[in-house]
Structure 1
């Protein structure tokens, strides 16, 4: 059966929570392979993946590679397996948040995002929304971030402005996030 990306608009937050809980990522943070090298791969600022200059067009390959991503303390990105650790160039953020689902209001709001890798992420204390150079990013896991696609950012900003026109902040799962660029 072919893989189908989740459509957040047709899922309840409990459905999304079940999908998030069911996603089993490899334990890349526990692997310490001795062999290192260069993957000859790059994630462009628009979220497209490339190998040796050619775009990787199969979504299943992007999903597979994205599950092996890690980011070290120096901000360098790696593809990690038990046997090897290969560097990967990332122009901006390795993921793009392409869809948003919001439920509730104010402090009782929950925000769920679908990434271009089809991963699902709830914004919360461990998955912060942060402004960098006037652009919004969502923490995905272990130093990996997703840039919010422009339509997703506009949707999020409209929700925030409707609730907090002066402070322009938004809540999700008990955590508050400012959508204002730091002064």
Structure 2
């Protein structure tokens, strides 16, 4: 399990590797808020990670970033935008975020894989934030996911998944990657996902 200080160090290392400063991301305590449900105003996150309101795309990056910080998936399986005073439903086509980048950082404990999402979240794949792969029943293609926070997940973009495949090791005909000392299966040696 990654401690908060270890995670901060990993993310600082990643920012140095990327040649940029890590953006501080303030996350309000949405899990503590219990406002009344205010209905459905036509908010959705599509398969490509784009945000829409009543059929129109939300193109302001700052607004999407803000909304992503007050997103919460409840035990009822529904996702909401939550403030202290209201809760509105957000329809999710596949995942809450897109994992646009993966980086592997070598530490004294071994490799750690960091996923960066389309809204700037960074999460270390670990037992706490696991990686899993689902096979699309129609196309047979792998769909890799990682738990970001709470019940919110990110689907890894194709290029990010290919990075994981490059780092994978074969064991008993299964491809797997290691992060934070935990192994995660991502497919089988013949190219079929698990």
TM-score (structure 2 length as normaliser): 0.79
Identify the residue that residue 110 of structure 2 maps to in structure 1.
Answer: 108
* CA distance in structure 1 between the partners assigned to 2:37 and 2:98 by the alignment: 30
Identify the residue that residue 177 of structure 1 maps to in structure 2.
Answer: 184
- The alpha-carbon deviation at position 174 of structure 1 amounts to 1.7
Indicate the RMSD between aligned Cα atoms, in angstroms: 2.1
1:87 aligns with 2:95: no
Map 1:55-134; keep pairs closer than 5 Å: 55-104=57-106, 108-133=110-135, 134=142
- 8 Å Cα contact 1:71/1:77 also seen in 2: yes
Structure with a larger share of its residues in strand: 2
**Unaligned stretches of 5+ in structure 1?**
1-10
- 8 Å Cα contact 1:35/1:83 also seen in 2: no
* CA distance in structure 2 between the partners assigned to 1:14 and 1:124 by the alignment: 19
Identify the residue that residue 141 of structure 1 maps to in structure 2.
Answer: 149
**Unaligned stretches of 5+ in structure 2?**
1-11, 136-141, 188-192
* CA distance in structure 2 between the partners assigned to 1:48 and 1:132 by the alignment: 21
* CA distance in structure 1 between the partners assigned to 2:16 and 2:33 by the alignment: 31
- 8 Å Cα contact 1:97/1:146 also seen in 2: yes
> 4+ residue runs of structure 1 moved beyond 4 angstroms?
none
